[in-house]
Amino acid sequence: MAPVLNIVIGSHVWVADKDLAWIDGEVFKIDGQNAHVRTTKGKTVTANVSDIHPKDTEAPPDGVDDMTRLSYLHEPGVLDNLAVRYAKNIIYTYTGNILIAINPFQRLPNLVDVQTMEKYKGANLGDLDPHVFAIADVSYRQMMNEGKSNSILVSGESGAGKTETTKLLMRYLAFLGGRSGTGGRTVEQQVLESNPVLEAFGNAKTVRNNNSSRFGKFVELQFDKSGKISGAAIRTYLLERSRVCQTSSPERNYHCFYFLCSAPSEDIKKYKLGDPSSFHYLNQSSCIRVDGINDAEEYLATRNAMDMVGITEEEQEAIFRVVAAVLHLGNISFAKGTEADSSVIKDAKSRFHLNTAGELLMCDCEKLENALIKREINTPEGVITTTVGPNSATVSRDGFAKQIYSRLFDWLVNRINASIGQDPSSDKLIGVLDIYGFESFKTNSLNNYASTSRTKNSSNILTRMYSKWSRRSTQGSRLTGVT
Ligand SMILES: Nc1ncnc2c1ncn2[C@@H]1O[C@H](COP(=O)(O)OP(=O)(O)OP(=O)(O)O)[C@@H](O)[C@H]1O
């Protein structure tokens, strides 16, 4: 932020505050580069003039619904405007064509009901109060009028409300372009019904969010010439693979592991499972249960959601066999072998988990063991097999677990897409991109680094777009975004 030069005695300003981020007050003395400010909370603060920002004393007390109308578009001005509106349960605010959505952490039914959808249908952006439906409506009408595809980007940090906002966008687009599908299930219903399945396998409890999406999602809704939804596809990317083998308090691994460990007893017996705390991939964190998540009920709900999206009983069995196999793999420990750089299965307990993983994956247990404790090297003379020490065997085990879990996730997404169905003749679509939130981990793996830097890059691009859009007239701009 450029230094503010017109600060004089009597100026109303914002100064940084460690608890409130920014606090407002009046300058009563200036000595050199220091301004002395009496804050509205009765404190006296001294700050460098370059670190304080002017306050617009004529700003409307209820805030403005489009922040391009703020006299000062600086951080304290923006935050104050959003806070004033949020206090009145107004969670949406525009900055030009971009919608800022603040997480209400409570259901606001009147804000998202069918009457509200009716109201926003066909309304111009800015004619009504800021709303996520207005963004969806604009992108739909642009698509229909110009015959071109459109995209809506939903971005924000973890727990900001991206997934909930994406669901509202989908619901509104389904309201505009909905039609009856085969067998009574519409395409849009199937897309929405696939959420619990994807969330069971791709969401986890994190520090910030009990149901955090650990993958990015791009949902394409395809439309026919009359503007009705004719097909859909879900594309996912950057599943956080490292979580499968590595979790730390107070986070959890992917929900499906805990759901399966709370399954009815016949399933527990079939998959040779036990309490989640007996599995290495789950007990690295002391967080096993989460308030508000009933793992036993969620297991049944996930099975039900799988039925709804057309995943057969046989396929469901196979899916949960892989999930259970991952847990058993994590409990295989290795000890040093008799030769240098070699390892053996540590004990009878590890042998039990190796054999169970092999049975569940329907593979030869001896081959599975060799794959973990040996390595094949391709040389010009042919393939050489060497043994590896316990540490390398553990790395192989974790690599294998991550690989089969992410392949399972990709398979699920493909399966859901196959059952929703795509329209090969559709020439236009609306894509909704939900970029998952970034955060910093205690131990950052290459996978964390890759996803965090990509997400940060996207967020930086979005931030740059904001300021550009805020500075110029937004008339005619074709991009829409929500954050
Ligand atoms: N519009 C909303 N109405 C009601 N509750 C909401 C809304 N948006 C978010 N929430 C609440 O906040 C929680 C976190 O929101 P959400 O999962 O959408 O965040 P996210 O940005 O997708 O996070 P992550 O990147 O970690 O997946 C939700 O589980 C819900 O309880």
Per-residue pLDDT of 56-66, as tens digits, reads: 999 899 999 99
Ligand 1: residue of 103, 166, 456 to mutate (most ligand atoms within 8 A of CB) is 103
Burial class (CB in 10 A: 0-12, 13-18, 19+), 33: exposed
Strand partners, 165: none
Where in the sequence numbering do the catalytic residues fall? 158-159, 163, 209, 212-213, 437, 439
Sign of CA dihedral 187, 193, 195, 201: negative
- List of domains in the chain: 12-54 (2.30.30.360), 67-186+199-230+425-482 (3.40.850.10)
Q: What angle do CA 120, 213, 204 make, to 5 degrees?
A: 140
Alpha-carbon separation of residue 285 from 116, 207, 232, 240, 253 (angstroms):
43, 12, 38, 17, 9
pLDDT tens column, 233-250: 999 999 999 999 999 999
E strands in 172-293: 203-204, 212-213, 216-223, 229-237
Residue 185 has pLDDT above 80, yes or no: no
Q: Is the ipTM of this complex over 0.95?
A: yes
Residue in the block written with tokens 């996520």: 132
Question: With contact defined as beta carbons under 8 Å apart, do 74 and 94 qualify?
Answer: no
**Mean pLDDT, rounded, for 189-198:** 89
* Chain segment 366-424, per-residue pLDDT in tens: 999 999 999 999 999 899 999 999 999 999 999 999 999 999 999 999 999 998 888 88
Among 139-143, 316-320, 325-329, 446-450, name the one with the lowest average pLDDT: 446-450
62-71, 155-164, 327-336, 457-466: segment of lowest average pLDDT: 457-466
Q: Is 482 in contact with 169 (CB distance < 8 Å)? A: yes
Which of 133, 168, 209, 252, when mutated, tests ligand 1's pocket best, judged by the most ligand atoms within 8 Å of its CB? Answer: 209
Q: Ligand 1 mean position to 324 CA, how many Å?
A: 29
Supply φ then ψ for residue 344, to 5 degrees.
Answer: -135, 160
Tell me which DSSP letter residue 116 carries: H
Known binding site for ATP: residues? 156-163
